[in-house]
Structure 1
């Protein structure tokens, strides 16, 4: 996303809990210092969001686009990310909700208010396939992948928040959209790919039709 935005002439703020990761990404993408700045951001903190907004305005004058992409996923698991529903800890529920949902809410609220005041902007929230349908739990055993209840519920809520804001700010010239990607290739095992493909085919072309 950063590459695409820079390619179209946008100046980009890369924000993450780790400032080093932001700088590593900038170096990897070979984005010039004039086109981007790295910022440390804790998405679950309104204070951190307000500082990010102030820093963005200081460097670039205003913010026109916000991509809310932070999430607790299989790549950044909480301590009990793989606990089943019956035993899912309250602490992990709270942490996933803080990152996936509260973080998106705060970003929309703080950066979105700035856009409203400045006559417009575009917010892109990153949802998920599992913000639209439930995970198919039968395809995951033995894959090292798990989809906890808090992830799915938080992504459904992100889609709902997006709809709420899209109608609320339509006359303010602030577009609010959600992208809900499906599976993304990441070196998965062959049997997982087979189970996933078969599941998609069965759901798309039911075999019990007469």
Structure 2
């Protein structure tokens, strides 16, 4: 198991399938974990799961709110925690944006409002988190930023696998995830002389109660012929958070079962 005893990790969007798995595995590896998410059922479940763990801390945070982002590290530092790893994990997917039971639009019907809301959360928010790191953390002690992209960041979506499904691949999601790696490589050079590294993790298709038919269609595009479990993605995330990844910066690590290697 990766040893994260020397790490204090701040992670946005901690209440989702991957986020909650990251938190659980980070705590198991010995890290101090500062979790954040929007208020609601996911945040409450996360806090309940780790109640009483003195290496766990939770803050409500809307990453799309500039005022909240500008204050978050001040709150964390005032409480005596010094994050040396930050994970930009919060994101809006197409399914989340449209909401349960709401019809998923064709590309021609996507509103500018929905496009801009996705970009605000998936790309502008990571920029704001990184900018606040620059103001409050970078240069004060060695630190690491990990941006979370997607298998669709630098690869085109296979639109046919969504035929007849209740959801489709959302253009703004893939575009925003491509942009986040641009942020990674820019920051990697900008922060290199200040003791900070920046990398991107690009998870593949993660199983989250998908239908057997959708699993079959996706599996045909993947060398390993199946979707990933959240724990398989989290294992690589833990390595990127660890001191063992100290000589890596400006890199994208694909954890996609071979999807991007075809």
TM-score when scaled to structure 1? 0.87
Question: Where does structure 1 lack aligned partners over 5 or more consecutive residues?
Answer: none
Question: Following superposition of structure 1 onto structure 2, how do residues 133-152 of structure 1 map, counting pairs within 5 Å?
Answer: 133-152=155-174
What are the superposed Cα offsets for residues 100-141 of structure 1, whole Å, 9 maximum, x if unpaired? 011111111102432323132011111001112011101011
CA contact (8 A) 2:122 2:173 kept: yes
Out of 27, 48, 53, the position equivalent to 2:68 is 48
Higher relative contact order structure (alpha carbons within 8 Å, sequence separation ≥ 6): 2
**Alpha-carbon spacing, 1:204–1:119, altered in 2? closer, same or farther (3 Å):** closer
Corresponding position of 1:65: 85
Looking at secondary structure, tell me which structure has more helix per residue: 1
Asked if residue 7 in structure 1 is aligned to residue 28 in structure 2, the reply is yes
Is the 1:127–1:178 contact (alpha carbons within 8 Å) kept by the matching residues of 2?
A: yes
In structure 2, runs of 5+ residues without a counterpart are 1-21, 226-258
Matched, 1:161 2:183: yes
Call closer, same or farther: CA 1:42–1:205 in 2, change over 3 Å: closer
Q: Cα RMSD between the aligned structures?
A: 2.5
SS of the equivalent of 2:67 reads: helix
Q: 1:175 to 1:204 in 2, by over 3 A?
A: closer
Inter-CA distance 141–172: structure 2 relative to 1 (3 Å threshold): same
Counterpart check, 1:21 vs 2:42: yes
Offset at 1:92? 0.3
* Contact preservation (8 Å) 1:169, 1:175: yes
Instruction: Work out whether residues 84 and 148 of structure 1, in 8 Å CA contact, stay in contact via their aligned partners in 2.
Output: no
Question: What's the counterpart of residue 241 of structure 2?
Answer: none
What TM-score do you get using the length of structure 2 for normalisation?
A: 0.71
- Find the counterpart in structure 2 of residue 191 from structure 1: 213
What's the CA shift for 1:87? Answer: 2.0
